[in-house]
Structures are given as structure tokens and as C-alpha cells.
Structure 1
Amino acid sequence: MKTIVLGAGVTGITTAWFLRQAGHDVTVIERQPAAGLETSFANGGQISVSHAEPWANPGAPLKVLKWLAKEDAPLLFRLRADWRQWRWGMSFLRECTPGRTRHNIRQIVNLGLYSRATLQQLRRDLGLDYDQLTRGILHFYTSAAEFDAAQEPARVMREHGCELDMKTPDECVAIEPALAQCRAQIVGGSMTPSDESGDAHRFTQALAAACVAAGVEFRYDTRIVGLQSEGDRLAAVQVADARGIVSTLAADRYVLCLGSFSAAFARELGIELNIYPAKGYSVTLPVQDPAKAYSVSLTDDEYKLVFSRLGDRLRIAGTAELNGYDTALNLARCEAIVRRVRALFPEMSDGRDAQYWTGLRPATPSNVPYIGRSKIHNLYLNTGHGTLGWTHSAGSGKAIAEIVSGRLPELDFAFTGLAREDRRSAGALRTA
């Protein structure tokens, strides 16, 4: 069966790998000259099952209002004359109820656990090296109110299998001695020892190379310029190469992995995906003094920043700005990250040689991605992963490959487009 994967970010590449392993003849279309050069390029680097509390939660509406006028706010809505942004915002508010939050945490935890185990198996099978560290993720809190608010989501995560233990400030410092630099600010923390970190860009390129060796064809520097549909099927995609030469590519199946651009593509086929770009930022700093730098991956929950050690580099990433498809660097937000780093770790870095990056993360209001069938008979979805694309990529790639192949994944997840009886069948598979 010939299958075309649209997009070569980390989700598209894992999808291509597992489709090829399932026996598909796979072609990947990507507008960039190589894999993993957009949202997957310089993200936070965490494989974080413990990041299962969605942005949309009962405490979010008041925070968003408080942050509206702050240029360096963790979550910044730049209100635009864009009805899709407003629709996304209204849907976000509907997801902020306690019941919806619990439901979404369950989906995110289940997918995260499955994906982390899939990634670990993939790493063992292929011998992948991407600056990975398997020392867990430590969330630390500098606000007593935020620490108190974290107790209930943590309980729900544990209920669904996420290993997450609350820690005292001194226990946080014992886990990561670099936190001694800000011990007076820490009120508590939580530790997920099974979580990991690593360079998503290096992983994506390494797996893309493995895909090539396995027989996957890549069409880089190739833009999608048109669609040909026949009834309820996608018949072909028209593409233009780097020279502008237009050709037509046809397949039996298509999988949509275009990140924030998935919604526009799907709209051409009459499918409305509630995905809006959440512009994220990262700063990469050199390790100046290894004795003062962290080696356990960290999360600063109050400022929504994540910290990963990537060999001799420090990656700090976070914040979300809803401002359409603008990809210009906002230096105020980048510099705010550096200020926070220096406030927490004054002996670790002076901020010199900082590399700034921004990328568009494909966010759904619930933080739950679209994985499954679309209403177009031969078009499948693996998109909308928001801030957790790296965390969920291996699991969602394996799951969608199963669905495209006509099988049900052994994963308890609200897959898009599966009938209720299909989901019951999947449940029977899991308990057999």
C-alpha cells in the first residue's frame, strides 16, 4: 500500500518509520531541505509524561486575564481580527472545567506513557543517540499557591499511572544540586523519575536517516500547491519542487502531519481542525561551568519554562504566544527567559552566547491531539500535539500506523474518527 506522509517534523518522521515497519511504501513530503527544521528544531527537549495538566484548566481564565498586558507572560493572547483565534479561545474556556480537565489529563497521560515506552524501545532497537538523559524531570515551584494548585492534577496523573512524587525544597536540591542557587525561592516540587530529555532535532534527523535506509522516499524542498479530490477521497496532491516545477503525487493513503499548517490543509477538503499556532520560544546557552549547571531536566512551573541538558548545551524553552502565524523573534520574550535563568541560577550562566529560537506549536484547546481517521476516506490525522509533540511523537506515530493499516492500537485514547464500537474493541484488545 502506498502512503504519503505530509510533513517531516518529529511526528511525521515517527509516522513514516512505523508505516514502513508495517509494510507500507512510504513517501514523505516536506517543504524544508531536511527533517525537523521547524517546530522540532529547538524545542524544550523533554519527554514529559508529567506535563499532563493542560493549559486549559480551572485556574487558567484568571491567569490569562492577568497576563493580557504582560509582554513576557507565560501564555499571551494577542487578540486579532481573526475569528479562528476567537473560536479557539472560546473552546479553550470550555475546556477549563474540572471535568474536562480530568478527561484531558487522562488522554494526555495515557498517550504519554505509551509514547515514552515506544521511544525507549525504538532507541534500543536502532541505537539512537540524541543527547538523551534518563534522569527524570523535576518540577519545582516558587509560588506556594501554584504548589498547592498542583496537588489535585498530580493526584489525577498518579491515578492514571504517571509516577509522580511530591518533594520538599531540600529534596529538590538533593535531586538536582544546581537548585541550591535558588533554594530560598523553592517551596516544593514533584519528581517523575521515568521521564527523559534529549535533542528532538537530532532524534528526528537520526530517525529520518533510518527511514531512508529502510526504503522511505523523501521529497524535500517540496511544497504542496494543490489537492485533487474524488468524492470522499483524496486522489492526489500537487507539489512544486525547489525549482518551481509542479508535479502530481498519488497514493492509497495520506497522513496529515503538518503541525500548525494542518488546519489550512484540512480546510481545503472541508475538514475543520481546531488547531491554532502557539508560538513558543527557546534559548540555548553553552555550559560555562559544569559544576554549576543542571543535569536533571527541570520545569519551572510558575513561569512555564523547561530546562534540559543537551551535552554541552543548556536548553531553556517555554511560553506560548497566540499571534497567528507570525514567526518573528520577540526579543522581549527571549530576554525574559534569560532573566529568569539568571535569577534562578546566578552562578551558572552570564547569558553570553545565547541562541534564540521561536517556532509555531500546533495547539488544540484541550492539548489533546488529533490522531485517527478524518471524514475523507483515505486521509488520516496525526497533528495538533501542541507543546507535547516530542513527548507524544513515537506513540502517536505507532498508533496512526496501526490505524492506517486497519488495526486498532493497544492504547486507551480518544482516537479521532473511530466509531464507539471500534473503541470498545480496542479496550477488549488491551484487556485480553
Structure 2
Amino acid sequence: MKVVVMGAGVIGVTTAYYLAKGGAEVVVLDRQAGPGLETSYANAGELSYGMTSPWGAPGIPVKALKWLFMKRRPLFIWPLISPTMWKWSAQMISNCNDESYRINKGRMVRISNYSRDVMPDLIAETGIEYDGRAQGTLQLFRTAKQMKGSKADQDILAEYDSPYEVLGRDACIAVEPALAEVRNKFVGGLRLTADRTGDCRMFTIALADKCAEMGVEFQYGQSIRAIAIENDKIAGVDTELAGRITGDAYVCALGSFGPRLLNPIGVRLPVYPVKGYSVTLPVTDDAYAPQSTLMDETHKVAITRLGDRIRVAGTAEIAGYSNRLGPHATDTVKHVISDLFPKGGDITKAEGWTGLRPMTPDGTPVLGGSRYDNLFLNTGHGTLGWTMACGSGRAVADVVLGKTPEIAMDGLTAERYA
């Protein structure tokens, strides 16, 4: 079987790996010059198994209004004349209730826990390096109200068997010693002990190299113009440079850009880009730098240690497909790293980045089959593409190859939007 995978981000490359491992002939297409150069390039670096949750949650609409008036706010909404954006926003708001939240959370945890379980096997099989650490995530609370409010999260973590620890100020410092320098700026935290960290792009590049060794063909610089349909099946992928590329099956792993190709052929998915920002800076003193990942609950900013670098990521900006990195776009993430780890890294050498996260209104990605027998989907992971990559890649590869996935696919496919 020949499979054409559209997209060479972490989702497309993990899918290609499992397809090749299963015996398929695989061709991967991407418009960039190499793998992992878009949303996978400089994300937060968190493998957030314990923090897998939909953005559409009870109370979020009220919180979102408050965030819009914060000086260093985690949310920006640009009032575009876009029916697609407003429809997607309305669908997300409709998921902000207890029943929907629990359904969506359960679906997402199913994927992330599976990814957590299969990723170590992939690492053992390939031996790839990606600045990985397994020291958990510390959700840091600046106020007693935040600490008290985390009880609801603790109940859900317990329900889904996600291990955690509730920590006071001194216990937080024991986990992240550099926080002793700013002990007056927080009251405690929630530590998610099963979480891991790592450089998503480094992983994607290394895995793409392994895939190439396994016979996977990567065609870079190939912009896809359209998906061709004949006799109610996918007949090929039309590219600008190489013309039509054909296979027996096709996997769309194009993230936010998937709908631009899928909508014209009648596969309508509510996947919309939510822009995020990050900076990466060198560690200047290990004793004053983070050792794993922290999530600043106030600003919704993640700080992650990646070898001799620190990655700081956050902000949700709803602004269509804009990829502009404005002069003040990274002010919030720079503020948080300077506030919590002022001696840990050199902020003057921070490298800014922005990327488009492919979000669904219910938070759950779209995996598996489509209305066409030979077209398969692996998209809509939002901020959790790195977290869910191995699990969703393996599950989708199984579906393509006619195998029964090791996780139940109900509620994960495009059928939920029919």
C-alpha cells in the first residue's frame, strides 16, 4: 500500500513512522524546506498528559472577558469580518458546560494517555534524542484563590488516574529550587508527575531522519493546490511543482491549513487557527533556571527547560491566519520568565516565534476516516499536538492499514460533526 501523508510537522511525521513500520510505502509532502518548520517549530515543549483539557470549560466565557482587560493578558481577539471565526467561537462557547467538558476531556485524555504509553517504545526503537526530561509539570499559583480553585482539576485528575501532588510554597521550591529567589510571588502549586518535556522540532527532525532510513520519501517545497476527486475517491494530490502525486490512501495532517483543502471536497471540519507565541533563550546559570516545566496560572504561560535553553510560550490570539510577529507580541512571555527566573536566562538573546495551533471547538482532535474511503484525518490537536502525536499517529496509521486501533475511536472521528 502506498500512502501519501500531507504535512511534515510532528503529527505527519509520527503518522509516517507508524505507517512505514506497518509495511506501507510512504510519501510525505510539505511546503516547507524541511520537517517541523511550522507549529512544531518552537512550541512550549510540554508533553502535558496531566494537563490535557479542552479550552471550552465551565466559567471560561466570564474568565475570557476578564483576560481581555489584563495588562499582560493571555487572550487576544481581533474582530475580523469572518463568519468562520465567529461560528467557531460560538461552537466553543456552546461547549463551556459541565456535561460537554467531561465528554470532551474524556476523549482527549484517551488519546494523550495512549500517547504517553506508546512514546517510550518509539524512543527505545529509534534511539532519537530530543532534550527530553521526565520531571513533571508544576502549575504555579500566585493566589490562594487559584490554589483553592484547583480542587476541581484535582478531582478530574483523580478520575482519569493522572498522578499529581498538591504542593505548598516550600514544596514547590524543593521541586524547582530557583523559585526560592521569588518565593513571595506565589503561594503553592499542583505538580503533574507523569508529564514530560522535550523539544518538539528536534524530535520531529530526528524521527524524519529515521523514517527516511526506513524508506519514507519526503518531498519538501511541495505546496499542495488541491485534492483531486474521481469516482467519489481521492485520485491524487495536485502540487505546484510536481503535478499530481498519487497513492492508495491519503492522510491529511496539515493542522490549521487542512480546511483550506478539505472544504472544497466536502470534508468540513471546524478547525481554526489560534495563534501562540514563544521565546527561546540560553540558560546563563543552571542554579537559577527552571529544571522542568512550570505553568504560570495567572498569565497562562509555560516555561520549559530544554537542555541549555529555556522555552517560554503562551498567549491565545484569535486573528485568522496571520503569522505576523509584532514588536510587542512576546512581551507577556518575556515578562513571565523575567518575573519568575530573573537570573536563569539571558532575555536579551531571546528568539521570538509565532505559530498557528489547529483548534477544534470541543478541544478533541479529528482522527481516522472521512467521507472518502481512502482519505484519513489526523488534525485539530490545538496546543496538544506534541502531547498527542505518538498516540494519534499510531492510531491513525492502524486505521489506514486496516488494523483495529488499541484505543476506541468513538467520539474522535469527523462523524461527531456530521
Bin the TM-score by the shorter chain.
Answer: over 0.9
Offset of 1:300 from its aligned partner? 1.2
CA distance in 2, matches of 1:291, 1:412: 45
Given that 1:181 and 1:347 are in contact with CA atoms closer than 8 Å, whether structure 2 keeps it comes out as no
Partner SS, residue 147 of structure 1: helix
Number of the residue aligned with 1:372: 368
Number of the residue aligned with 1:428: none
CA offset digits 1:196-222 (Å, max 9, x no partner): 101101100000000000000111110
Offset of 1:61 from its aligned partner? 0.2
CA offset digits 1:93-137 (Å, max 9, x no partner): 011101111112212222111101211111111111111111111
* 2:380 aligned with 1:384: yes
Distance 1:271 1:72, change over 3 A: farther
Given residue 386 of structure 2, which amino acid in structure 1 is its aligned partner? W
Given that 2:303 and 2:337 are in contact with CA atoms closer than 8 Å, whether structure 1 keeps it comes out as no
Given residue 104 of structure 2, which amino acid in structure 1 is its aligned partner? N
Number of the residue aligned with 1:248: 244
CA distance in 2, matches of 1:226, 1:85: 23
Given residue 277 of structure 2, which amino acid in structure 1 is its aligned partner? Y
Residue identity over aligned pairs, in percent, reads 40
The counterpart of 2:356, out of the listed 357, 360, 367, is 360
Partner SS, residue 79 of structure 1: coil
Number of the residue aligned with 1:138: 138
CA distance in 1, matches of 2:236, 2:91: 33
* 2:291 aligned with 1:295: yes
Given residue 7 of structure 1, which amino acid in structure 2 is its aligned partner? G
Given residue 190 of structure 2, which amino acid in structure 1 is its aligned partner? S
Given residue 353 of structure 2, which amino acid in structure 1 is its aligned partner? W
Offset of 1:69 from its aligned partner? 4.8
Given that 1:50 and 1:192 are in contact with CA atoms closer than 8 Å, whether structure 2 keeps it comes out as yes
CA distance in 1, matches of 2:408, 2:134: 25
* 2:277 aligned with 1:281: yes
Unaligned runs of 5+ in 1: 420-432
* 2:340 aligned with 1:344: yes
Distance 1:129 1:45, change over 3 A: same
CA distance in 1, matches of 2:70, 2:264: 36
CA distance in 1, matches of 2:296, 2:249: 42
Number of the residue aligned with 1:73: 73
Offset of 1:367 from its aligned partner? 1.4
Partner SS, residue 282 of structure 1: strand
Offset of 1:164 from its aligned partner? 1.8
- Structure 1 moving runs of 4+ over 6 Å: none
Over the residues paired in the alignment, what is the CA RMSD in angstroms? Answer: 1.5
Given that 1:252 and 1:378 are in contact with CA atoms closer than 8 Å, whether structure 2 keeps it comes out as yes
Number of the residue aligned with 1:227: 227
The counterpart of 1:310, out of the listed 306, 313, 316, is 306
Number of the residue aligned with 2:44: 44
Number of the residue aligned with 1:333: 329
Given residue 39 of structure 2, which amino acid in structure 1 is its aligned partner? T
CA distance in 1, matches of 2:71, 2:175: 33
CA distance in 2, matches of 1:412, 1:350: 46
Given residue 113 of structure 2, which amino acid in structure 1 is its aligned partner? L
CA distance in 1, matches of 2:154, 2:86: 30
Partner SS, residue 268 of structure 1: helix
The number of equivalent residue pairs is 415
Number of the residue aligned with 2:171: 171
CA distance in 2, matches of 1:314, 1:103: 35
CA offset digits 1:340-392 (Å, max 9, x no partner): 21112223245211110000110111211001111122111100000000000
Given residue 120 of structure 2, which amino acid in structure 1 is its aligned partner? Q
Number of the residue aligned with 1:429: none
